[in-house]
Amino acid sequence: MVYTALEVWDEGMALASLCYDVTTEFPAEHSWVLKTKIRLAASRIAASVAKAYEQSSEGFWYHIQESQESLLELKTHLKFAERLSLVEPRVNAALLVNCDLMAQRLVSLQAAAS
């Protein structure tokens, strides 16, 4: 089994794709930094899961923690984007639900590896 077969990795990729889609609508003049931060945080979630899968036990825990930190960063940036009216509240709510589901999946992954 390779990391691409992990459901949590696939879900992380889907979340990153959604974030890329949403940020394409950001106005260029004010938001390129926030757009970049959202995209980087979102893409790091799946990337860290992939790195965790390929590591020893100690490395696994480090990279899952890194994925969880990226998820928290993403949620913060999404909430800030909504405050700035860059993301519609209903769209952001759906993204944040996906983030919460991803958080649960990461905890489940940790529990399974214990």
Q: Write the pLDDT tens digit of every residue in 58-110.
A: 778 889 999 999 999 999 999 999 999 999 999 999 999 999 999 999 998 88
Number of domains in the chain: 1
65 burial via Cβ count (<10 Å: 0-12, 13-18, 19+): middle
- Domain range holding 34? 3-113
The per-residue pLDDT for 5 is 60
User: 25 pLDDT exceeds 90?
Assistant: no
Q: Report the CATH number at residue 40.
A: 1.20.1440.60
| pLDDT band per the 50, 70, 90 thresholds, residue 55 | confident
Mean pLDDT of 43-70: 88
Burial of 27 (0-12, 13-18, 19+ CB in 10 A): exposed
